[in-house]
Structures are given as C-alpha cells and as structure tokens.
Amino acid sequence: MIELPVGKLLVQNIILLLVPLAAGSLFRNLFPEAAVRVRKILGKMALPAICYALLMNVILLAYVYLIRRKQK
C-alpha cells in the first residue's frame, strides 16, 4: 500500500515556493540594478518551471489515487 503524507507534501511545496520568493525579494532589495538584468532571463524561465512543477504534482497525485483505487 502506498502512503502519501499530505501534510508533509504541502509543507514541502510551501517551502519550495517561499524560499525562492524570499531570496528573489532580498536580491532585488540588495542589488536593484542586477535584478533588472537578471529579470529578463529568469522571467522567460519562470512560467515553464512553474507549469512543470504543477504538472509533476498532478501526475504524482493522480498516480497515487489510481493505485489506491485499484487496491480497493
């Protein structure tokens, strides 16, 4: 039987979201000129990275759901 700790998964996802946001805000406040230059590059990569992460989470949850359903 596969166990999926939902609480742990949520905490990990929140941490993986908040740490980069905090780091980006800190970088932007400390180095505003460099942040403008880096924004052009990272802005193009952010949306595909977020979509990929969401897709992987949906696939994982669907996989666990289907296995649990099959075991019943």
Q: Is residue 1 part of a domain?
A: no
* Contact assessment for residue 71 and residue 5, using Cβ atoms and an 8 Å cutoff: no
Identify the domain containing residue 49 by its residue range.
14-71
pLDDT of residue 18: 92
- With respect to residue 47, please indicate whether it lies within any of the assigned structural domains: yes
Output the tens digit of pLDDT for each of the chain's 72 residues. Answer: 667 677 888 888 888 889 988 998 999 999 999 999 888 888 888 889 889 988 998 998 888 888 888 876
- Identify the DSSP state of 72: -
Report angle CA 60, 66, 62 to the nearest 5 degrees.
30
pLDDT at 10: 82
The total number of structural domains in the chain stands at 1
Q: Determine the pLDDT at residue 23.
A: 93
Question: Is residue 28 domain-resident?
Answer: yes
Task: Give the per-residue pLDDT at 2.
Answer: 62
DSSP assigned state of 30? H
Per-residue pLDDT at 1 = 62
CA 70 and chain centroid, separation = 29
40 within a domain of the structure (yes/no): yes
